[in-house]
Homo-oligomer: A and B are copies of this chain.
Amino acid sequence: MDSEDNSSFGYDAFRRTCPSHTVLETLANKWVYLVVCALRRGRLRNGELARKLEGITPKMLTQTLRILERDGIVRREIFPVIPPRVEYELTELGQNLAGLLNQIRSWSEQHVPDIRDARARASMEPQEDSVARG
């Protein structure tokens, strides 16, 4: 048994043709992260999301929401009123996921200094000491 890190159900995200690889590919997206995290505390309207996700264009917001809706992570509720009102909320599956994605977001915030330092060190371009020795 060499599948120590694959305690799952025969799926293996390291394999390109594995469906789980596609799922991972979907999640590995900045806007997906942020939208899911934004909805974590409850339902939001389109405009509220747009304001919360600073700089997102309507197009990307809609596109991201459609993907998440298609994958059963977000539920969309349309109120047939004028002016239109649409609300988005996480499904149970989405809430499950949101916990994990939010940890990554939190990690990103907490480790800004570490990464900033690492980049600074990297840009000092340390030269390899000596070399060779067949």
Contact = CB atoms under 8 A, between A and B. Distances in A.
A40 B27 CA distance: 20
Contacts of A101: 104
- Residue from A6, A16, A109 whose CB has the most chain B CB atoms within 10 Å: A109
- Residue from A13, A37, A53 whose CB has the most chain B CB atoms within 10 Å: A13
Number of copies of chain A assembled together:
2
A16 B34 CA distance: 11
A104 B109 contact: no
B54 A16 contact: yes
Contact of A27 (B11, B97, B104, B128): B104
Contacts of A108: 11, 13, 20-21, 23-24, 27
Interface in A103-127: 103-112, 114-119, 121-122
Given A14-B53, A24-B105, A103-B103, 20 more contacts: A4-B41, A6-B109, A13-B34, A13-B109, A15-B54, A24-B33, A24-B34, A24-B104, A25-B30, A28-B30, A28-B32, A28-B33, A70-B122, A71-B115, A72-B118, A80-B131, A80-B133, A82-B134, A100-B103, A100-B107
